[in-house]
Structure 1
């Protein structure tokens, strides 16, 4: 995809007109139009400003894979699995609501080291999964080989990637806090549009609570874009059938220092 196509796609995703983008960049709307139809390109000096306004990276504008928004390559560099190998409890919820009576198509968004994707593949699902960390994906592929299952792993950034194929089950755990507030509706609408009839979306999000301190890994510099508010995730799915919508506070020691998180958890069906 050339830079004009990328600018057009991301501008529309943010609900910006060509005129609005032009005003932010102090150029004419005709210049934006020429970029988007491929008859000219923006000056190199404008690229940082364009990337900032469109909530993306210069690499992404130029068609290169985005660098990870986090330090997970470093976290996943050890031989052991950072999150362990026990599957997320939501995997069992998936099996309860959508048992693998046939190879349902699943996509795991932000799969990390692949423990959940591999678990679902071992239980008969047709699994695709992506993550921004190449180190995590390498360990995920090794895990799949260990269990002799096929998972289509690939590298992508949740901020940039949009589904084009349809899936019976869309799963994402602990990832959506990296999606900027301005892109949330676009991302969720893309997931909903590419869910098959009677398919499910299984998602959790970290929720901000003033009485819960930031976790230690955040304080060390993890890039958290925007916190979610209680119930915000549920509102995006107000027109779907809810199988689960709950909020819970739990203990975590992933950083080596005990701390707490609050999460909203949703399982919703497209009917």
Structure 2
């Protein structure tokens, strides 16, 4: 817990534009105390946690590394609670790009960011990748575990919020489909820098985002926690990587029972140094 708290204090302090001394002044403590928190040398007195939470505008649960929600975060929690698999069991087409560009001819660690019900994560595990996955939906996590057990593969799956989660271990492949629109624009640079930093040399990212187009109507789903991306924005995060492919596609969708279309930008990129 001490390590998690140290990282969270440092991150949320910086997001508020505060120095260690600035945070200390607001809390009426010494800056050395804040420094000790961030260096894992000490924890604050429990009576101080509410004030830290107030200043940083982050719940105590999040500061301590727990995920706790008092409102529905994803519209799919109820959809995933059924026995049927909402998205089916057929893997996303981009999974085959992973097989094409980074086949598992050696041990490769893959992270599926926002795995949903696990169909892509399990597909990767079946094909020989060492797979870790996370999602914010409890029902989705349970269905991922169930699907992995059903086909006899191992997927290390856990619950996390894409906005709060940061990598602290290296991966060869990062994969995410239809999820990155949940990242608030003010956190995107930091999150993508974190993803890139914890990707091994010659590793790859396979990402896509929904983009807004004036000739396509907004989707029928009410996504209260979704944020807009623009064409080219995802690509801009990879100016220093080798771009293997960056298509933009328009496709039909019936996920809500109402036929509609999406525009999507994709980036398949490689870390070369």
TM-score, normalisation: structure 1: 0.86
Q: Which residue of 1 aligns with 2:172?
A: 168
The count of residues paired between Structure 1 and Structure 2 equals 261
* Distance in 1 between residues matched to 2:242 and 2:64, nearest whole Å: 40
Q: Is the 8 A contact 2:20 2:34 kept in 1?
A: no
Q: Which residue of 2 aligns with 1:9?
A: 11
Q: Is the 8 A contact 1:248 1:263 kept in 2?
A: yes
Q: Is the 8 A contact 1:205 1:233 kept in 2?
A: yes
CA apart distance, 1:103: 2.8
Q: For structure 2, list consecutive stretches of 5 or more residues without a partner in the other structure.
A: 38-42
* Distance in 2 between residues matched to 1:71 and 1:21, nearest whole Å: 38
Q: 1:74 to 1:21 in 2, by over 3 A?
A: farther
CA apart distance, 1:170: 0.6
Q: Which residue of 1 aligns with 2:40?
A: none
CA apart distance, 1:216: 1.4
* Distance in 1 between residues matched to 2:210 and 2:22, nearest whole Å: 31
CA offsets 1:48-87 (integer angstroms, 9 cap, x no match): 5633xxxx55531243224362132211011111111110
Q: What is the RMSD of the two structures over their aligned residues, measured on CA atoms?
A: 2.5
Q: For structure 1, list consecutive stretches of 5 or more residues without a partner in the other structure.
A: none
TM-score, normalisation: structure 2: 0.86
Q: Which residue of 2 aligns with 1:183?
A: 187
CA offsets 1:117-176 (integer angstroms, 9 cap, x no match): 000110111111111111101001110111111111111111111111111111011111
Aligned: 1:114 with 2:118: yes
Q: 1:212 to 1:11 in 2, by over 3 A?
A: farther
What secondary structure is seen at the aligned counterpart in 2 of 1:27? helix
Q: Which residue of 2 aligns with 1:257?
A: 258
Q: Which residue of 2 aligns with 1:27?
A: 26
Q: 1:42 to 1:210 in 2, by over 3 A?
A: farther
- Match of residue 208, structure 1, among 208, 212, 228: 212
Q: Is the 8 A contact 2:244 2:269 kept in 1?
A: yes
* Distance in 2 between residues matched to 1:21 and 1:229, nearest whole Å: 35
- Match of residue 92, structure 1, among 86, 90, 96: 96
CA apart distance, 1:251: 1.1
* Distance in 2 between residues matched to 1:174 and 1:32, nearest whole Å: 42
Q: Is the 8 A contact 1:19 1:28 kept in 2?
A: no
